[in-house]
Structure 1
């Protein structure tokens, strides 16, 4: 499906949850000198303008990063990344996960990004020019299957689909164990929306059975507008890094303040 456009939702509360956790995981991984491999299956355009008409129309960034940014600790890697990238791209810029990764990773690390939507892929290629990232226009999940296991073997994969089709949930419940079997040392991070009908729950049950020790972290928030079905954000971490519970506790407190 190619109808989803993240520009309407960039910087929303789900992005705050996902990107704060992503920055924490990457910060943990880069503490060691060993190089690592970073993959994204649904990379988007990499950079968004929160003053653009689509962002203003939904008001999601105003309710999200505009409120949450100042509540994060000053030394949090996500907050520091936002400040650095806004100094470069402008005060209303919002970096997507590819640009966050490029900022936090090192020249010895490799970045591999897939985006299928033609316009988003072109924008992503422009944004990531000069970073050393490998950007391809491919189906994200097929991309992940074909590229794993990587060299270097340390690293992580972020899977962040739009979930436009109900079957996506159970497809991912089947896919993550396959990816883990191919790359048993890699951190697999799956983001999913929490909808009022609870359609994510069978996926989580299946993943917990197939991958014991998997960490699931969820935060809740009010729907952005009448009829909007998303009531929270969830992240699955396979091979969660040591000490990640400190980060999830911090985010629990942050989202309590945002209620």
Structure 2
């Protein structure tokens, strides 16, 4: 299934949670003068126009980053990445996770991205010409490239969950990756739906007893009447030092909505 396009949802409250935590993670890891690898299994197109037709149709960004931008001060890495993207591409352009990584990375760092959707893949290559971009199944790609060179790095698993079996297979997928790449920071994003589809997956991951395990879930109003997503979650394996501070801060901010 290749119908999902993130342009309709870019900059929504789920993105705010995900991108704030990823920005803090990448900022912390780039403080050490050693090269990093960044890998993403479902990268999307990289850059999104919040004034475009898709974003305007849903209005999710208006209730997301455009509403809560003041949660993040000028020194927050999420703000810094967004400002760097705006300077290069324009004020209405919002960075997806790959562009966020590129904005925070150094010349020594490497980016590997998988995106199977043909149209999204083409736009991704245009947006991030210096990244290694493949049109492959993201899960298979991650297994093939891990452990990456350099070994220090971050992997983001961010599928659209169009394939419902993803909830059942992801715990085993992460276990296999961690055995191959035990020093890697593995991050997983998932939606919190009214159906509770994520619950068995998160329980299985909690039971796996991974090192540096961190789970963060937030709730927010549905984007529109009848919309099934009422929150989002992030799970980290080998979570970097200090990420719990941002988790605590975000928890309080989302509760204020």
> Corresponding residue for 1:157?
155
Deviations 1:34-54 (A, max 9, x none): 111110110000001011111
CA RMSD of aligned residues (A): 1.0
> Corresponding residue for 1:243?
242
- Residue 11 (str. 1) matches residue 14 (str. 2): no
Aligned partners of 2:66, 2:81: CA distance in 1, in Å?
A: 15
> Corresponding residue for 2:96?
96
SS in 2 for 1:194: strand
Match of 1:167 among 149, 165, 168: 165
- Residue 52 (str. 1) matches residue 52 (str. 2): yes
Deviation at 1:75, TM superposition (A): 0.8
> Corresponding residue for 1:180?
178
Q: Which runs of 5+ in 2 are unaligned?
A: none
Deviation at 1:211, TM superposition (A): 3.1
Aligned partners of 1:154, 1:224: CA distance in 2, in Å?
A: 37
Aligned partners of 1:249, 1:75: CA distance in 2, in Å?
A: 18
Q: TM-score, normalised by structure 2?
A: 0.97
Aligned pairs for 1:43-192 (under 5 A) are: 43-129=43-129, 132-192=130-190
Deviation at 1:134, TM superposition (A): 0.7
Match of 1:204 among 202, 215, 236: 202
**Aligned residue pairs, count:** 256
Label 1:42 to 1:246 Cα distance change in 2 as closer, same or farther (>3 A).
same
Aligned partners of 1:178, 1:44: CA distance in 2, in Å?
A: 24
Residues 211 and 238 in structure 1, CA contact (< 8 A), matched pair in contact too: no
Aligned partners of 2:91, 2:255: CA distance in 1, in Å?
A: 26
Q: Which runs of 5+ in 1 are unaligned?
A: none
> Corresponding residue for 1:215?
214
